[in-house]
Amino acid sequence: MMTEERLMLREQISALADGQLEGERFAAVVGKVGGDEEARDSWQMYHLIGDVLRSGEAGACMHDRAFLARLRTRIEAETVAPRMSVPALDAPERIAENGPSALGKSQESNDFRHAANDGAYRWKMLAGLATVVAAAALGWSGLGGHARETQLAQGTVSSPATVASASGSGVAVMLRDPHLDALMAAHRQFGGPSALQNSSGFLRNATFDMPLSRGSGQ
Amino acid sequence: MRATRVMHVRHSIHLLLVLCTAAGASAVLAQTAGSEPARVAAHAPALPVDKDMGAWLKRMQEAPRRRAYAGTYVVSSSAGALSSARIWHVCDGSQQMERIEALTGAPRSTFRRNDEVLTFRADEKTVVAEKREAPGLFPNRQIVGDKVIAEFYTLQAAGSERVAGHDADVVQLVPRDALRYGYRVWSEKKTGLVVKLQTIDGAGRVLEQSAFSELQLNAPVKMDQLARMMAGTSGYRVEKAEVVTTTAGAEGWSIRNAVPGFLPTTCLKRQISPGQAGPGMLQWVFSDGLASVSLFVEGFDPQRHRREGISALGATQSLTKHLADRSEGDWWLTVVGEVPAQTLQAFAQGLERRK
């Protein structure tokens, strides 16, 4: 069993790997990584995951069965509990009421969340995706992201309209709104993220997962 | 902001080097450190592209017109959502056809013949029929014009990379202001086909990425076979969303302070859900040639319209706002677009009732 302290250390190493720690906290974690075999393993693991995601060229790792086996074991052992309950499709009200308080509960991880929101990526959060992406052999370079969204979206990989606020105002709203889903779909009809190439835009829009039940908004 | 980010990454690299020493350097760690600068390449000054932007866009636009290809397409957003689909594309010079079989989410097949789109939902035994506004490629480029695009974006070459086994040129479309996102585009060297696309925010983060993970150019895709499949609607209920073309003026709306670079491209009255009762919703679409924004206006319903605010999903931002109107009753505005939140706010503030 993994102790609370171990988990904490991994969080810190993940933040360190993203260059988010400074001053005393930086020194403390560097000290731990330098003097602890297991911490050093974690440090390497986060970088390997990052490497696979970023470059798509970490061939050495991808061919290394032992590495993959270790990675899988680690991912299984390390499923991060969602910071916030994932809203059910039919309960937007509940979320509307509970949203702010539920967010409040995630304050314990505030340091990391805040740091990650600054732009760097917490590979740990994507660890579950790492094997998927590696298997797809898709070249990834510099995926950025909001850790908060990543956290929120963890249980909802196939629910694109699980919406997390990323506005600068700091107001975090979480809603699963079928009406908004429908409007986003209507908007996508006109080119989507970029009319850069209609075909590409069209592929993107058709590939984007639709809400599981279209009729629920009425 | 940008400078901060660069500093930040440099700092990270420094940390990595320090830690390599601290934890015992390994080839893997060195490689990680080495790959860091690639992440900020978007903001390093790149060589200007000699080619005219219009010519470059046109080449990409025409690429799928002469090609048949099949592949697997993957879309991912910074929120962690990962969607993929199997794609077949064929073109005989005058007609384009496409089949898109979703591999994630609800099972569905989408067929497109030029501007005509059918989406089959096997689980619901329904087919949704839609018309694309502009059958051509780059619909908004034609309306907005390359000159406007060049006024708000710069084109930079960013080397070449391999995507799905194909050599591709990488170019960046860097926005000249903060009202739009940037793009990194990988186009296959021989054909110009876009094989990978990233949407990048002002801090250099990739908000959304789509790419072929596997692509077969000149694949033996048969148009008559796709046409037969597309025609196979028996046993399905066909739903057609009613769409009526209109003008914002006729509907009593205008924009007070135009958002720089964004021109109105189309205005519709439409039913959002097929079979939905009541008057259609207004959809007013703007584009700067690359990014687009939709303004949806409907009558205010206090039961349904409760939450004003801004939300984000990957590159797509949405804003909802209650518009008070003493003479006609209130309105509910939803603005959706692949643009920064402040752009949506500018649209929301500029929208004006003229009736």
Query: B100 with B9, same domain?
Result: yes
**Each residue of A134-183: pLDDT tens digit?**
333 222 322 333 333 333 333 333 333 333 333 333 333 334 577 787 88
Burial A183-210 (b: 16+ CB within 10 A, else e): bbbbbbbbbbbbbbbbbbbbbbbbbbbb
* 3-state class (DSSP) for residue B192: coil
CATH number of the CATH domain containing B337: 3.30.200.100
Residues B215 and B155 in one domain: yes
Rounded Cα distance, B204 and A95, in Å: 31
ipTM: 0.74
**Interval B122-139: pLDDT, tens:** 888 899 888 765 434 344
Q: Are residues B265 and B199 in the same domain?
A: no
Burial A129-164 (b: 16+ CB within 10 A, else e): bbbebbebebbbbbbbbbbbbbbbbbebbbbbbbbb
**One domain, residues B112 and B178:** yes
**pTM higher than the cut 0.90:** no
> Which of B195, B230, B265 is the endpoint of a domain?
B230
Question: Does residue B236 belong to any structural domain of this protein?
Answer: no
Q: Is B51 within a domain? A: yes
> What is the per-residue pLDDT for B268?
86
B223 contacts B92 by C-beta, under 8 angstroms: yes
Q: Is B271 on the interface with A (CB under 8 A)?
A: no
Please check whether residues B127 and B55 belong to one and the same domain. yes
Q: Which residues of B touch A197 (CB under 8 A)?
A: 60-61, 63-64, 137-138, 194, 197
Same domain as B188, residue B139:
yes
Per-residue pLDDT of chain B (355 residues; tens, 9 = 90+): 444 444 443 344 343 333 333 333 333 333 333 333 333 333 333 434 445 777 887 787 777 777 889 999 998 888 777 888 999 999 887 788 889 998 888 888 989 888 788 989 888 889 988 876 543 434 455 667 777 888 999 989 899 999 999 999 999 999 999 999 999 999 999 888 889 999 999 999 999 898 999 999 988 888 889 999 999 888 899 988 777 888 999 999 999 888 999 999 888 888 766 555 556 789 999 988 888 899 999 888 888 887 888 988 888 889 999 998 878 888 999 999 999 999 999 999 999 988 7
Residue of B nearest to A213 (CA): B106
Mean pLDDT along residues A53-59: 50
Residues of chain A in contact with residue B56, where contact means CB-CB under 8 angstroms, are none
Domain identity same for B146 and B186 = yes
Position B209: which residue type? Q
Average pLDDT over residues A84-108: 39
- B223 and B260 inside one domain: no
Q: Could you please report the per-residue DSSP string of B12-36? A: HHHHHHHHHHHH---HHHHHHHHHH
Please, which pLDDT band fits residue A133 given cuts at 50, 70 and 90?
A: very low
From CA B72, how far away is CA A178, in angstroms rounded?
A: 28
Judge whether B6 is closer than 8 Å to chain A, CB to CB: no
Among A139, A166, A191, the residue with its CB nearest the CB of B139 is A191
Which pLDDT value is given to residue A112? 38
Query: Within this chain, do residues B81 and B163 fall inside the same structural domain, yes or no?
Result: yes
Residue A144 to residue A120: CA distance in whole angstroms: 6
Smallest Cβ distance to A165: which of B5, B12, B309? B309
A34/B334 CB distance under 8 A: no
Contacts of A132 in chain B (CB under 8 A): 82
CATH of the domain at B204: 2.50.20.10
User: How many folded domains does chain B comprise?
Assistant: 2
- Pair B261, B309 in one domain: yes
Contact in structure between A192 and A204 (CB atoms under 8 Å):
yes
> Which burial class, exposed, middle or buried, applies to B235 when counting CB atoms under 10 A from its CB (0-12, 13-18, 19+)?
exposed
Residue B348's pLDDT is 94
Task: Check whether residue B206 and residue B98 sit in a common domain.
Answer: yes
B235 within some domain:
no
Q: Virtual CA dihedral for B133, B139, B142, B145, nearest 10 degrees?
A: 120
Nearest CA in chain A to B142: A195
Give the domain range for residue B127: 2-230
Same domain for B195 and B254, yes or no, is no
Residues 6+ apart with CB under 8 A from B231: none
| Domain's final residue, options B208, B230, B252 | B230
The reply to whether residue B89 touches residue A199, judged by beta carbons under 8 angstroms, is yes
Query: Taking a contact as any Cβ pair under 8 Å apart, which residues of chain B between 288 and 307 contact chain A?
Result: 289-292, 294, 296, 304, 306-307
- Asked if B287 has any chain A CB less than 8 Å from its own CB, the reply is yes
Minimum-distance CB partner of A141 among B39, B310, B313: B39
Confirm whether B37 is domain-assigned. yes
| Partners of B335 in beta bridges | B295, B319
What pLDDT is stored for residue A55 in this prediction? 53
Residues 6+ apart with CB under 8 A from B342: B178, B179
Q: Of B230, B258, B284, at which residue does a domain stop?
A: B230
Q: Which amino acid is at A162?
A: T
Q: How many CA atoms lie within 13 A of A89 on its CB side?
A: 16
What is the residue-averaged pLDDT of chain A? 54
